[in-house]
């Protein structure tokens, strides 16, 4: 598999899925966009659904990998872990607005089995966040909040950024990250 | 227009749009679901897009109406206003999970002009939230947070609830409302 061409195909697919919607985008549209015959495109991908699945799997795996690194780092407080988690997630969303739009909007179009795989990885990610908050409560860093709901609340909030973030807007990803960290960390901090 | 039939049609449409996606749902599917001939269905609706537009317009107008009531009520502190705003929005989302899913996922399918109308009403809603936070800051009730980003942060977080809320789950709408209010109000309160 020529990986440069594959990357070009995934980029074209993300752009088309975002603009037209996953359902309305055909394999022919993707082939046209990268200047390949439809038959040749199938050297790189097995189906449109497979392409969406690869994109989703890659993203959520990256999120999980980053979060596992944060949890493993014994030199961090849980407050620092949560701050880093917010920062990493926001950086990803703001760097990949089109991809985030596609994944959050179109993942429901995956077949049941594939959707379940993504759902399980997403649940794992939520559990890692919940773990940081639970550890922070146990260590007396955070108030005894409902850890899972707090994790859902923060994740919902930072995922939502894809809907209003404009690259080159007044606020940089790092500004937003700072504002969100302050808001949430002040919200759960033990005093 | 026989309003009972119209309500039945919108309910069927929301159910189909949520399950199959807006694009994959045909007017024929909606007609079949409510036991009408396609020709008769057009006595009630002008098009599938019009139906989506009506649903979006009705929801966002209801949100704006509630928020204007809250702002007009001079006996409330801004802390109370924000608490009520969170509660109202969450009640709507948890009572209308299917509809919220459709609106948040499918509004991009509206034509440009119609989408702009919804976008403008949504901006108005965001402005009303921002106003409550700005008033709260001016009154010394809230810390000098970035009012607009804080509004976006709270709205993103409570919109996200449609993705995980299960009716009849362990947490009621009012439990969630309490948890979210505590989290956000503690996050911005002036001490």
pLDDT digits (tens, 9 = 90+) for B49-103: 999 999 999 999 999 999 999 999 999 999 999 999 999 999 999 999 999 999 9
Answer yes or no: do B89 and B13 share one domain.
no
Q: Residue A112: is its pLDDT beyond 60? A: yes
In B, what residues contact A, Cβ < 8 A? 21, 23-24, 105, 108-109, 143, 145-146, 149-150, 152-161, 163-164, 171, 176, 179-180, 182-184, 186-188
- The radius of gyration of chain B from alpha carbons, rounded to an integer in Å, stands at 19
The pLDDT-based confidence of A172 (bands split at 50, 70, 90) is: confident
pLDDT, average across residues A47-74: 96
Residue A36: domain span: 1-45
Report the alpha-carbon distance of residue A11 to residue A98 in Å, rounded. 10
Q: Residue A167: is its pLDDT beyond 80? A: no
Instruction: From B26, B45, B64, give the residue that closes a domain.
Output: B45
Answer yes or no: do B14 and B68 share one domain.
no
The pLDDT-based confidence of B167 (bands split at 50, 70, 90) is: confident
Answer yes or no: do A159 and A107 share one domain.
yes
Task: Look at A1 and B156; give whichever has higher pLDDT.
Answer: B156
Answer yes or no: do B32 and B70 share one domain.
no
Answer yes or no: do B72 and B166 share one domain.
yes
For chain A, count helices (H), then strands (E).
Answer: 9, 0
Domain at A23, CATH number:
1.10.10.60
Domain at A104, CATH number:
1.10.357.10
Least trusted range by pLDDT, from A27-31, A50-54, A162-166: A162-166
What pLDDT is stored for residue A14 in this prediction?
97
Answer yes or no: do A71 and A145 share one domain.
yes
Which chain A residues contact residue B109 at CB under 8 A?
21
Report the alpha-carbon distance of residue A120 to residue B76 in Å, rounded. 44
Q: What percent of chain B has pLDDT over 70?
A: 97
The pLDDT-based confidence of A166 (bands split at 50, 70, 90) is: confident
Asked if B89 contacts B155 with a C-beta cutoff of 8 angstroms, the reply is: yes
What pLDDT is stored for residue B53 in this prediction?
96
Answer yes or no: do A79 and A103 share one domain.
yes
User: Exposure string (b/e) for A88-121, b if CB count within 10 Å is 16 or more?
Assistant: bbbebbbebbebbbbbbbbbebbeeebeeebeeb
Which chain B residues contact residue A157 at CB under 8 A?
153-154, 156-157, 160
The pLDDT-based confidence of B173 (bands split at 50, 70, 90) is: confident
Q: Six-digit token pair at A66?
A: 């980053």
Report the alpha-carbon distance of residue B26 to residue B97 in Å, rounded. 22
pLDDT, average across residues B6-27: 95
Answer yes or no: do B31 and B113 share one domain.
no
Verify whether the Cβ–Cβ distance B183 to A187 is below 8 Å: yes
ipTM for the complex shown = 0.89
Answer yes or no: do B53 and B138 share one domain.
yes
Answer yes or no: do A54 and A32 share one domain.
no
What pLDDT is stored for residue A11 in this prediction?
96
Answer yes or no: do A69 and A14 share one domain.
no
| Structural domain count of chain A | 2
Answer yes or no: do B144 and B158 share one domain.
yes
What pLDDT is stored for residue A191 in this prediction?
63
Q: Residue B168: is its pLDDT beyond 90? A: no
CA–CA min distance A9, chain B (Å): 23
């Amino acid at each position: 598999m020529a990986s440069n061409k594959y990357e070009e195909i995934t980029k074209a697919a993300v752009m088309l899925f975002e603009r037209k919607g996953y359902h309305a985008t055909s394999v022919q549209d993707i082939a046209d966009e990268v200047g390949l015959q439809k038959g040749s495109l199938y050297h790189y991908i097995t189906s449109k659904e497979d392409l969406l699945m690869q994109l989703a799997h890659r993203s959520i795996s990256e999120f999980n990998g980053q979060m596992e690194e944060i949890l493993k780092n014994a030199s961090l407080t849980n407050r620092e872990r949560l701050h880093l988690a917010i920062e990493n997630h926001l950086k990803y969303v703001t760097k990949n607005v089109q991809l985030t739009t596609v994944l959050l909007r179109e993942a429901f179009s995956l077949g049941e089995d594939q959707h379940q795989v993504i759902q399980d990885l997403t649940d794992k990610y939520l559990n890692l966040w919940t773990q940081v908050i639970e550890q922070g409560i146990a260590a007396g860093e955070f108030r005894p909040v409902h850890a899972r709901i707090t994790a859902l609340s923060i994740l919902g909030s930072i995922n939502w950024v894809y809907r209003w973030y404009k690259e080159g807007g007044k606020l940089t990803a790092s500004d937003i990250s700072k504002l969100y960290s302050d808001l949430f960390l002040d919200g759960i901090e033990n005093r």
